[in-house]
Amino acid sequence: MLKIIKIGGGIIDDQVALHTFLQAFAKIKDPKILVHGGGKGASNLLNKLGIQPNMIDGRRVTDAETLEVITGLYAGNINKSIVALLQQAGCNALGLSGADGNAIQATKRPVKTIDYGLVGDLGSDAVNATLFNNLLKLGITPICCAITHDGHGQLFNTNADTIASTIAMALAKHTDVELNFCFDKIGVLRDIDDESSLIPSIDYTHYQKLKEEGVIFEGMIPKLDNAFEVIQAGVKNVCLVHAKNINSEIKTILC
């Protein structure tokens, strides 16, 4: 089964945690793809350069100056550092932005109530599945950052969760896919402060019941709504897991 794993800022910002995760990731025997975000480094770098970061509801407003900085960070320093560490761990990895090999094409997010600037949205035909399948057949592990392009020379900042989900749905048409989102909990917990309350598996009916009971609320609802949409699109299952447990059974499996 193809495993697609998305890591976020919490791991990117912690060099020890990142190194530990990448060592574990390299040991995964199945074909695999890693998708990563940018962490707090982007805002820190923007501040150092005298550019005011602009976030609305956790999403970055991206003007041309901001895009220049985050492209260098996401597709450059972070992506290539991950690739180098994976090579050290014996995993033959290749770093990709959406423009590389025409991996992922996006369209500029339309202006509604908010103008997010140079932010790209992904359609159902965004992913170059042939490219990813060919790389995987060669034993190469793609490492995807949160930068895409429009096919006309314009780069975009694109949400890494969306990239991971869209790649998973595209490749699920060719093989069995498991999509893993790494976050700061070991999975979905009945009691947010008690790791022994892990719910190991949730189907859609169970999910609706957990929402009614108030076990799942607020920020988790969009994540799980998205996960079940991905499953409806043909992805075998979606796992919510802590990065430290990527090779263990300690996770919540959505199916």
Q: What is the DSSP string of 202-242?
A: E-HHHHHHHHHHTSS-TTHHHHHHHHHHHHHTT-SEEEEE-
Q: 196 and 96 in one domain?
A: no
Looking at the structure, tell me whether residues 61 and 155 fall in a common domain.
Answer: yes
Judgement on whether residues 68 and 104 belong to the same structural domain of the protein: yes
CA separation for the pair 120, 49 (Å, rounded): 24
Helix (H, G, I), strand (E, B) or coil at 90: coil
Tell me: do 172 and 237 sit in the same domain. no
pLDDT at 247: 93
Q: H or E segment at 80?
A: helix 79-88
Same domain, 71 and 15: yes
Choose one of 154, 176, 198: the last residue of a domain.
176
**CB-count exposure of residue 32 (10 Å: 0-12, 13-18, 19+):** buried
How many distinct structural domains can be found in the chain?
A: 2
Copy the structure tokens of residue 111: 């202006």
Task: Tell me, yes or no, whether 123 and 202 share the same domain.
Answer: no
pLDDT at 221: 86
15 and 141 within one domain:
yes
Query: Are residues 41 and 151 located together in one domain of the fold?
Result: yes
pLDDT of residue 57: 79
Which of these three, 115, 145, 176, is where a domain ends? 176
Q: Helix (H, G, I), strand (E, B), or coil: what is residue 157?
A: strand
Q: Is the pTM of this model over 0.75?
A: yes
pLDDT value, residue 229: 93
pLDDT of amino acid 56: 85
Mean pLDDT by 10 residues, the chain (255 residues): 94 93 97 93 89 86 95 96 98 98 97 94 96 98 98 97 97 97 90 90 93 83 90 96 94 94
Q: Are residues 119 and 218 in the same domain?
A: no
CATH (domain of 135): 3.40.1160.10
Within this chain, do residues 188 and 171 fall inside the same structural domain, yes or no?
Answer: no
Q: What is the pLDDT of residue 90?
A: 97
Q: Based on the domain organization, do 52 and 142 belong to the same domain?
A: yes
Domain assignment of residue 71, given as a range: 2-176
Read off φ and ψ for residue 194, nearest 5 degrees.
Answer: -130, 105
Whether residue 29 sits in one domain with residue 104: yes
